[in-house]
Structure 1
Amino acid sequence: MPAGKKRPVPVVIAYVGGFRGQVLDPQAIAVEKLTHINYAFVDIKNGRAWLTNEKTDTTNFRLLNTLKQRNPALKIMISIGGWAWSENFSDAVLTEEGRSLFAFTAVDIVRKHQLDGVDIDWEYPGVPGEEGNIYRPEDKQNYTLMFKALRASLDSLEAETGKQYQLTTAVGGGKYFVEHTEMDKAQQYLDYVNIMSYDYKTNPTGIAGHHTNLYGSTKSEEESSADRSVKLFLAAGVPPEKLVMGIAFYGRAWTMPDAKARGLNRQALKGARGGGFTRLKDSLMTQGYVRHWDRRAKAPYLFHPQQYIFVTYDDERSTRLKCRYVKKHRLGGVMFWEYASDPKGYLLGTIHQFFNQ
């Protein structure tokens, strides 16, 4: 880096949920601590970007725009897709005409509501996500071509308004994602690549373990972790300054057969209720759950010694360590899912304090 040139401040991207059809309370968002709000989600219908809850979505866009009075540099993006609304991506971007239509309709939402760009959360190109999702081998190339079309459409809007617009994507953290995409080609159209470095463990009757760990908790080189995800995307050709590390503002939980190893990396009986971090901190930790720290994984977990319930999550300590990793490796920043899971702002406060100390 040239002498005298400061490193850019890491981005802090919040996914804010509007998919439930509720009207947001902008006063409840600590917008001074954010650089981006990704409004989740916009759906796809008949090949077009589509507001499922148009009445509340448009109200929310107006309300979110008022936050720029408190933070003029804030970027407000539409996030298209998500776990439940990714089934139509493959069809929508199958042809050049389809990609043009999808890009135009996505950017038209940005234009109409004076927003700042588009985020794509396709779960997942070339591989199944939610049951029933459409996917095909051609998704690998069409994923790249979709971003090319979106960038061209955003560039047209820039020429019209004189304003800059961003294009980002949320990506799965596993090898399957880089194997079924061309991230080295796709990244040239993207401002940021938001790694969903969480949900590493989700099977209710599988092995209970960390779902958002910074490092592996075992000696297996194949174990999922944020560090492994970052290295996969770096190796796939994404520059470090475009990579954004995900932080989970919620926990996942399992009921275990016994207290062996306090549930960590053991076979679970069934899923249990986890919940947002505010609930975990203010409620569970006073109800017989004991907090433990995995030094290898740099991750916390809770275990109830009588009920045999294991809970995996991010807390203030693991969040600080993720932020430290981002700064050390000169990554783009952090993002989190989702804002409403920690309404008291424990983790966002930790992020803000670390990046501004």
Structure 2
Amino acid sequence: MRKSPLRQPRRLITGLLLPLAMLAASSSVMAQSTPSSYRVVGYANGWNPVQTKDVGKIDTLIFAFAHPQDGKVTIAQQDVKHLQDLIALKKINPKLKVDISVGGWSVGGFSEAASTEAGREQFADSAAQLIAAQHADGLDVDWEYPGHHESGIKSSPQDKINYTLLLKAIRASLDRVGAAHGRTGTNHYTLSVAIADGPFVDNVDIAAINPYLDWFNLMTYDFVNAMTPTTGHHTGLHASKLIAGDGRTTDRAVQQFLAAGVAPKKLLIGAAIYGREFADVKPDHDGLYQTFGHYQGGHNWPELKADFINKHGYVRYWDADAQAPWLWNAQTRRFITYDDPQSIAAKMAYIKAQHLGGIMYWEQSADPSDELVDDMWKGLND
């Protein structure tokens, strides 16, 4: 799949294998299992063996991605090993759940499959059978986005109704197949969605899909990107003084879903373990919420620390209103927006204050030292 200006870091994944030798660390890792009611959920493709020491801090890993193919949910053969690497981590942390996400940016086939009852049933049944066959724990639907075609996928005015009907069909299939495999009650196959906010859910009936879902993974990142008119905080918690109108923020996303009747505990806000860089930026306000010449690219957390934060002319600034950092290089007129330990701490405090379900992040391999994941865990358990 092609890289996306909106979701490019989702393609910066290396599927690394888990050596069996790492399983010996099980006793020490299990002692870290999250004791609180807040959850840490992370998207992953493969698994970096050096991160095994912290697997007890993660409640659910979501494998990315399965894909719709000829109306069915499938995983490419070369990706099955990566999924099984994640599932093998249950030998270290038996409480760990591993779900499968279907979709991703620029991945189509949803609108077509959801358009008929037969198509929905085929999609739903194949998804449930895949979950059972791979010994996974649930499905995450990442349709970006119903009624929208910015990513190059097909869409339809009927997507709003059909999205609800598709999730209803998936819920029924998961329950039916789950019952046949002893997955009922609190151990049932779960169903979640990766979902945006603001105008990107104008073709989603949030209240209607709510009953079918165990939780919502709010993609509260990529608020600014190659397709937006200005720079800004791509994963800001609150509104900056410089934000225009109803510009997207994490808090505004949460309030949108709460207003639709979603229980706070079903909402997991998103954190970004990567930054976005813009070039030829207008220098006013140190580049914050200014027009730019072109989008430069993404940088994962280790790269930000090694080469950018207060280095090579990039100066770190903090927006107290947005509770978010940014970098500005006055000489090159480059701007970078990202999450760091301070903004992660603010998000964890917000989760507690709003009584939300926890935190979700993209993406596991972008934080090989588990520094930010550790900050999430600590922030929810202090």
CA distance in 1: counterparts of 2:358 and 2:260, whole angstroms:
19
CA distance in 1: counterparts of 2:326 and 2:216, whole angstroms:
28
Q: 2:268 aligns with which of 222, 225, 244?
A: 244
CA distance in 1: counterparts of 2:358 and 2:323, whole angstroms:
19
Q: Please tell me whether residue 140 in structure 1 is matched to residue 163 in structure 2.
A: no
Q: Secondary structure at the match of 1:291?
A: strand
Alignment of 1:337-356 (within 5 A): 337-356=362-381
Counterpart position of 2:237: 214
Cα deviation, residue 206, structure 1? 2.6
Cα deviation, residue 216, structure 1? 1.0
Conserved in 1, the CA contact under 8 Å of 2:266 and 2:356? Answer: yes
Q: Structure 1-normalised TM-score? A: 0.91
Counterpart position of 2:147: 126
Q: 1:110 aligns with which of 125, 131, 135?
A: 131
Counterpart position of 1:200: 223
CA distance in 2: counterparts of 1:202 and 1:220, whole angstroms:
15
Conserved in 1, the CA contact under 8 Å of 2:48 and 2:368? Answer: no
Gaps of 5+ in 1: 1-6, 19-23
* Stretch deviating more after TM superposition (299-308 or 25-34): 25-34
CA distance in 1: counterparts of 2:373 and 2:165, whole angstroms:
35
- The count of residues paired between Structure 1 and Structure 2 equals 341
* Stretch deviating more after TM superposition (119-128 or 338-347): 338-347
Deviations 1:56-113 (A, max 9, x none): 322122221211122111110110001021x210001111111111011111111111
The list of structure 1 runs, each at least 4 consecutive aligned residues, that deviate by more than 6 angstroms after superposition, is none
Deviations 1:292-321 (A, max 9, x none): 001111100011121111000011111111
Counterpart position of 1:234: 258
Q: Secondary structure at the match of 2:41?
A: strand
Q: Please tell me whether residue 89 in structure 1 is matched to residue 110 in structure 2.
A: yes
Cα deviation, residue 259, structure 1? 3.3
* Stretch deviating more after TM superposition (161-170 or 310-319): 161-170
Q: 2:178 aligns with which of 158, 162, 170?
A: 158
Cα deviation, residue 205, structure 1? 7.5
Alignment of 1:295-334 (within 5 A): 295-334=320-359
Alignment of 1:31-42 (within 5 A): 31-42=55-66
Q: Secondary structure at the match of 1:267?
A: coil
Q: Structure 2-normalised TM-score? A: 0.85
Cα deviation, residue 283, structure 1? 2.0
Residues 46 and 309 from structure 1, CA distance in 2 versus in 1: closer, same or farther, beyond 3 angstroms? same
Counterpart position of 1:3: none
Q: Secondary structure at the match of 1:340?
A: helix
Q: Secondary structure at the match of 1:147?
A: helix
Conserved in 1, the CA contact under 8 Å of 2:283 and 2:290? Answer: no
Counterpart position of 1:14: 42
CA distance in 1: counterparts of 2:224 and 2:172, whole angstroms:
37
Q: How large is the Cα RMSD of the aligned pairs? A: 1.7
Q: 2:193 aligns with which of 169, 173, 180?
A: 169
Q: Secondary structure at the match of 1:144?
A: helix
Gaps of 5+ in 2: 1-34
CA distance in 2: counterparts of 1:26 and 1:111, whole angstroms:
26
Alignment of 1:255-334 (within 5 A): 255-257=279-281, 259-285=283-309, 286-334=311-359
Letter in 2 for 1:69: K
Letter in 1 for 2:189: Y
Q: Secondary structure at the match of 2:160?
A: helix
Cα deviation, residue 203, structure 1? 2.5
Q: Please tell me whether residue 72 in structure 1 is matched to residue 94 in structure 2.
A: yes
